[in-house]
């Protein structure tokens, strides 16, 4: 459970699945040479008393064991539908979707972090990726 910047702003965030490597769902987009995509499926539940509105990918990062961070990319993957870039949830509502990150092929993605308010909220959730 993560709190947002405003009173009553709160999400229950769950990492559901990880796809590593993640594959493009079309023939037009792919990672840059030497990189791969890592997909993380998130479930968001608005457990607060205020409506939630944000682009969840803005508050998500993948890290390797050394603390190097890798940001999200807008890419559709074969693992499933992407998380919307404009999620709006009334209290009690849920969202489910994949956020895709681009990392070098030789790097092991160790953890994923998520924070509300496009990453500017005080609380950050962290999950180990295996």
Q: State residue 112's pLDDT score.
A: 98
C-alpha triplet 54, 124, 128: angle, nearest 5°: 110
Question: In this predicted model, what pLDDT tens digit does every residue of 50-108 receive, in sequence order?
Answer: 999 999 999 999 999 999 999 999 999 999 999 999 999 999 999 999 999 999 999 99
Dist. CA 12–CA 2, nearest whole Å: 6
Name residue, tokens 């840059």: 32
Query: Using CB atoms within 10 A of its CB, is residue 2 exposed (0-12), middle (13-18) or buried (19+)?
Result: buried
Pure H helices in the chain: none
Nearest in space to 7 (alpha carbons), one of 129, 116, 82, 125? 116
Decide if 109 contacts 62 (C-beta within 8 A). Answer: yes
- Residues pairing with 125 in the sheet: 114
DSSP annotation of 90 reads -
> pTM of this prediction?
0.95
Q: State residue 105's pLDDT score.
A: 96
Residues in the chain: 130
Q: What is the mean pLDDT of the chain?
A: 97
pLDDT band at 6 (very low <50, low <70, confident <90, very high): very high
pLDDT at 130 over 90: no
Q: State residue 124's pLDDT score.
A: 97
């Amino acid at each position: 459970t993560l709190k947002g910047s405003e009173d009553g702003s709160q999400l229950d965030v769950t990492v559901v699945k990880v796809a590593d490597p993640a594959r493009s769902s079309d023939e037009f987009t792919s990672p840059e040479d030497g990189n791969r995509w890592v997909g993380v499926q998130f479930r968001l539940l608005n457990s607060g008393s205020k409506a939630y509105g944000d682009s969840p990918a803005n508050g998500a990062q993948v890290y390797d064991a050394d603390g190097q961070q890798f940001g999200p990319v807008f890419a559709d993957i074969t693992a499933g539908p992407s998380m919307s870039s404009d999620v709006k949830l009334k209290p009690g509502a849920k969202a489910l979707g994949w956020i895709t990150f681009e990392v070098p092929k030789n790097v092991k993605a160790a953890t994923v972090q998520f924070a509300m308010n496009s990453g500017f909220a005080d609380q950050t959730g962290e999950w180990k990726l295996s």
